[in-house]
Amino acid sequence: MANAVALTPDHLRRDGEAFMEEISREYYLAHSGQKASAELQPVYEKYAAVLGPDALSVVLELFRVAPSGTDEHRGLRLLTDWLAETQSSRALAPLDEREIAWEGTAVVRLPDDREIEYQRVAIELANTADARERHAIEKARANVVERELAPMRRERFQRERQITERLELADGYNATFELLSGVKLDALRGECETFLRSTQAMWDDVLPDFLRTRLGMKPDEATRADALALFRAKEFDQSFPPASMESSIRRQVREKGIDPSANGRIIFDTGDREGKRSRAFCAPVRVPNEVYLVMRPHGGQTDWNTFLHELGHALHFAYMRPDLPYEFRWLGDNSITEGYAMLFDHLMQNGGWLTRYTALGTNKVRDFLRAAGFEELHFLRRYAAKLGYEIELYGRGAWNSLPDLYVDRLTAATSFRYNPADAFVDVDPRYYAARYLRAWQLQALITETLVDRFDSDWWRNPRAGPWICSALFGEGQRELAGEQAERVAGKQLGFAPLVRAIERMVG
């Protein structure tokens, strides 16, 4: 089909949105276990005219001449970023389909012939009390990953980098990412290195105690599989009953002045289903009118945490102003939506919130917060190290040395021994780690602002919700995280507020 199509930005917006809706629905159906595999390629073919290199050239030319600092410039940057990404995601669609199909059916076989669904391995590791058994499961998992998944992922990243570099928008993958995302990688890497150094003593101080009391292990014995069991924190399970999770959290959202289902625009898919991904996710299929919150229950505080996180995303999508152009609803800096998701899941670090909505009780809050601070420090250190590693993955040529580098960086930051099999699996494509890190920082500043405006119990202040919906959610993802921090908090993003919060919890 060589039909000539007028590739105006408005045409691209209209067809782009239709394309995103169809792709998003495929992902939702496959990842929620309702379809064996996502059929992405037919969707790419259907919209080929607006996804190709010609469309990219059109928006790129307009982007280069648009006056900087305007919404026009901002929108064209987002459209260029989207179409540049589409050049690789379209070519990689067969690989992604293959990977999704693999994940839905792969099985890990243990030495005693027991079989575990690959999707359930993380849950199984977290729930296995015996260290030897954990390590046996981990060994079997790593074998399957090394043999089957890692080669697919490695090929995927190599090709993504190659395709992006061939667009010649900037000098190399990393410079292209910076140009189109507005995120400065070196500056963030510098902040991460400082953060890792300045929290090293605190980490060395808290880790041995938790490892000994929870798992009876020493730091030099612990692997990443043990980390999963360590953070499972079973002792608090009774305080987070599965039966009341959804109703308690919905009540809290209502008390804050927000309808938790956004007038029916959010659909909750929270039951167990075979083939459903173990990792919870939010699928915005039509924005703001049809948003799915999908999770597979594991039990305990993890469910509460992920439900809050995904609800933050879902409410963000469902409360975006419908008149915003396509690019400010569907594209943009995902640090914003991750920041709102974290704004919600960090309520699990708020003593007043825990006392009111969970069964924790005031006598256990202190212990729980100490554990939460420890976990927060671990995740931040892990992501700070991941970003440094991923900058090497996308920036340097020597792919064979990456597994060793991955193990060195991640083990040094977390003290848990990492497995080289995961060097291409434990990677968030296209610098999603950078989005998370900036979201963490943004969340801390938004929380401070909410406390200033609506008091320390802002989360049940009926005036807070409407403000959040209009000043934050309503804006979609028009701004960069740093711009929003300036507008809402009058401050710059940084790790300092996070370090202060962790010190308060673990101290």
Q: Please give the residue ranges that form the binding site for Zn ion (CB under 5 A).
A: 338, 341
Task: Report in angstroms how near the CB of residue 262 gets to Zn ion at its nearest.
Answer: 17
Work out the angle at residue 33's Cα, subtended by the Cα atoms of residues 28 and 35, and round it to the nearest 5 degrees. Answer: 75
Task: Report in angstroms how near the CB of residue 91 gets to Zn ion at its nearest.
Answer: 26
CB-wise, 137 or 308, nearer to Zn ion? 308
Nearest to 338 by CA among 467, 466, 432: 432
Task: Report in angstroms how near the CB of residue 202 gets to Zn ion at its nearest.
Answer: 26
Rounded Cα distance, 434 and 428, in Å: 9
Rounded Cα distance, 175 and 395, in Å: 9
Task: Report in angstroms how near the CB of residue 338 gets to Zn ion at its nearest.
Answer: 5
CB atoms within 10 A of CB 154: 18
CB closest to Zn ion, residue no: 341
Task: Report in angstroms how near the CB of residue 342 gets to Zn ion at its nearest.
Answer: 8
Token digits of residue 152: 């697919």
CB-wise, 103 or 338, nearer to Zn ion? 338
Task: Report in angstroms how near the CB of residue 61 gets to Zn ion at its nearest.
Answer: 34
Residue with tokens 């005031």: 362
Contact 486, 449 (CB under 8 A): no
Over the Cα atoms of the chain, what is R_g? 22
Task: Report in angstroms how near the CB of residue 93 gets to Zn ion at its nearest.
Answer: 23
CB-wise, 9 or 339, nearer to Zn ion? 339
Work out the angle at residue 131's Cα, subtended by the Cα atoms of residues 129 and 134, and round it to the nearest 5 degrees. Answer: 85
Which whole-number Å values give the CA distances from 417 to 39, 151, 339, in the listed order?
37, 22, 29
Rounded Cα distance, 233 and 214, in Å: 8
Task: Report in angstroms how near the CB of residue 341 gets to Zn ion at its nearest.
Answer: 4
Beta bridge partners of 266: 291
CB-wise, 75 or 312, nearer to Zn ion? 312
CB-wise, 88 or 334, nearer to Zn ion? 334
CB-wise, 308 or 485, nearer to Zn ion? 308
CB-wise, 116 or 311, nearer to Zn ion? 311
Contact 415, 207 (CB under 8 A): yes
CB-wise, 279 or 487, nearer to Zn ion? 279
Q: What length is written for the chain?
A: 507
**260 preceded by a cis bond (ω within 30 of 0):** no
Work out the angle at residue 44's Cα, subtended by the Cα atoms of residues 41 and 45, and round it to the nearest 5 degrees. Answer: 85
Task: Report in angstroms how near the CB of residue 395 gets to Zn ion at its nearest.
Answer: 25
Nearest to 448 by CA among 485, 421, 418: 485
CB-wise, 290 or 338, nearer to Zn ion? 338
Token digits of residue 46: 């259907």
Q: Is the dihedral of CA 252, 254, 257, 262 positive or negative?
A: positive
